[in-house]
């Protein structure tokens, strides 16, 4: 997707500038680690949508921890650049990354993307969702907003790719737009 491409290109550009870069990213299918463009990439299985969110998140946490542990091999990074709110939130809890500054790239409001993906808030769709589904979707949206807000407010820096997304980050998470960098 778009954020994965931005992460890849950012890693490559930083490596070209002489930084030691290790990319850890989730993929839907298994892939071997590889070194390319001056940096090492290590993938972990990213669970597909659907299923029970807490179970998927626990599996993601275990796989993410293993990938970070493998790619760091005892090294301590100067910073973590994160592009996805759930993995950023989980990464902040890893012992290996405790105290490492987080730079968060805000691509879009996670909760709003979720709402649009399930049809909440689109004209003529709210009535199509049953009452239980609406409650579940609203709870899922709220959880995503809280998790992403925690990441955004806890980041040493918040990067956006446009002025529009800087305003979206500010509106969704109550941060000063001047705190973001484009």
120-133 pLDDT per residue, tens: 766 565 556 678 88
Instruction: Report d(CA 67, CA 138) in Å as an integer.
Output: 32
* Predicted pLDDT at 29: 76
124-161 pLDDT per residue, tens: 655 566 788 888 888 999 999 999 999 999 999 999 99
* Predicted pLDDT at 35: 85
* 118-136 exposure pattern, b = at least 16 Cβ within 10 A, e = fewer: bebeeeeeeeebeeeeeee
Instruction: Report d(CA 16, CA 12) in Å as an integer.
Output: 6
* Predicted pLDDT at 64: 94
* Predicted pLDDT at 47: 77
76-120 pLDDT per residue, tens: 999 999 999 999 999 999 999 999 999 999 999 999 998 888 877
Nearest to 71 by CA among 107, 26, 40: 40
Sheet with 34-36: strands ordered across: 22-27, 39-45, 34-36
* Predicted pLDDT at 62: 94
> 3-class DSSP state for residue 126?
helix
Contact 67, 90 (CB under 8 A): no
This prediction has a pTM of: 0.88
């Amino acid at each position: 997707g778009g954020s994965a491409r931005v992460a890849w290109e950012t890693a490559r550009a930083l490596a070209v500038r002489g930084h030691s870069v290790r990319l850890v990213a989730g993929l839907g299918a298994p892939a071997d680690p590889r070194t390319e463009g001056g940096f090492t990439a290590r993938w972990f299985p990213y669970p597909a949508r659907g299923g029970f969110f807490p179970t998927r998140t626990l599996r993601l946490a275990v796989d993410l921890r293993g990938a970070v542990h493998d790619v760091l091999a005892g090294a301590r990074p100067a910073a973590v650049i994160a592009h996805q709110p759930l993995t950023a939130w989980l990464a902040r809890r890893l012992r290996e990354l405790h105290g490492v500054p987080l730079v968060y790239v805000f691509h879009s409001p996670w909760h709003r993307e979720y709402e649009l993906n399930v049809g909440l808030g689109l004209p003529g769709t709210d009535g199509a969702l049953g009452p239980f589904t609406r409650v579940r979707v609203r709870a899922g949206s709220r959880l995503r907003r809280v998790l992403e807000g925690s990441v955004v407010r806890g980041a040493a820096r918040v990067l956006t790719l446009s002025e529009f997304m800087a305003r979206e980050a500010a509106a969704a998470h109550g941060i000063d737009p001047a705190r973001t960098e484009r």
